[in-house]
């Protein structure tokens, strides 16, 4: 196990905070977090892998310790975020790397894979969706906003940013809620409460439709390039359903699909199991 370092990279004027661990000459693994979290969601996973891999875990723009520029100067779209993280990988010297994608990290990482298929050595998708059948009924209010981006429909999404919703996301589908640390969700709620963060997050909820529109392109990438792929899924996720994990095998028959008896934030309860699966899956 190597010590985790906490660094900041200047990505064309935007400060991107990241965690780094492991030997620089070891196989690289890029960890991409989801909503409403940040790189701290990997705090238990990184020490379990850093003896074997060079790990980089950035906070996406607008999340965690990374910069959150005003919406007047920075467009909060998944395309823009993916472009920033793509550039970030170049700045920190990643040329060939595996990606661990979760939630928002999936459309971010899959966009990078579309752009640079030669750079991606493998994909671990932990509740990172790329198929229509993976979307649950919980997306209905968000889909309503996609269809009619009115002020009223936008306002209806503010409940997704409430502290009690964050707590629910962390504990829903977990066998024993007492096993979920309050630390991660408390940090998430701190970041969500920053001035302007609510509008940033509402912008991204609205733009998630661009990810769904790219599902056919993502699927074609899986089908054409067939990257080694592990889908390891909290099967009780209220947002991304198990059929979304199983669907990877349709386009990439060699994909490995595993289910864990937990919810959306599977690392909160199953970090050891996920780390073991990654160590079995990725080459040394």
What positions carry a catalytic annotation?
264
Given a contact cutoff of 8 angstroms between Cβ atoms, the answer to whether 45 and 173 are in contact is: no
Helix, strand or coil, per DSSP, at residue 20: strand
Helix, strand or coil, per DSSP, at residue 8: strand
Classify residue 279 as exposed, middle or buried by CB count within 10 Å of its CB (0-12, 13-18, 19+): middle
Closest CA to 214 of 100, 77, 99, 84: 77
Tokens linked to 70: 């005003």
* Residue 248: half-sphere exposure toward Cβ, Cα within 13 Å: 29
Interatomic CA distance for residues 77 and 75, integer angstroms: 6
């Amino acid at each position: 196990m190597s010590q985790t370092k906490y660094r900041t990279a200047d990505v064309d004027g935007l400060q991107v905070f990241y965690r780094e661990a492991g030997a620089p000459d070891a196989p690289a693994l890029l960890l991409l977090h989801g909503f409403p979290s940040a790189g701290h969601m990997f705090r238990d996973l990184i020490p379990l892998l850093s003896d074997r891999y060079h790990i980089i875990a950035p906070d996406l723009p607008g999340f965690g310790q990374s910069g959150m520029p005003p919406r007047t100067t920075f467009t909060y779209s998944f395309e823009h975020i993916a472009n920033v993280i793509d550039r970030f990988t170049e700045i920190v010297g990643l040329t060939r790397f595996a990606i661990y994608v979760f939630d928002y990290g999936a459309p971010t990482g899959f966009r990078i894979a579309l752009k640079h298929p030669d750079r991606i050595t493998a994909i671990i998708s932990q509740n990172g969706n790329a198929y229509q059948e993976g979307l649950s009924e919980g997306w209905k209010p968000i889909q309503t906003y996609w269809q009619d981006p009115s002020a009223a429909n936008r306002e209806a999404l503010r409940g997704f940013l409430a502290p009690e919703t964050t707590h629910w996301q962390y504990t829903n589908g977990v066998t024993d809620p007492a096993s979920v640390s309050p630390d991660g969700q408390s940090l998430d709620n701190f970041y969500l409460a920053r001035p302007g963060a609510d509008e940033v997050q509402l912008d991204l909820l609205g733009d998630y439709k661009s990810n769904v529109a790219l599902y056919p392109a993502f699927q074609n990438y899986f089908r054409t390039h067939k990257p080694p792929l592990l889908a390891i899924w909290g099967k009780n996720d209220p947002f991304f359903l198990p059929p979304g994990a199983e669907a990877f095998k349709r386009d990439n028959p060699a994909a490995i699909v595993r289910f864990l008896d937990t919810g959306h934030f599977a690392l909160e309860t199953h970090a050891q199991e996920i780390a073991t699966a990654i160590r079995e899956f990725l080459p040394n």
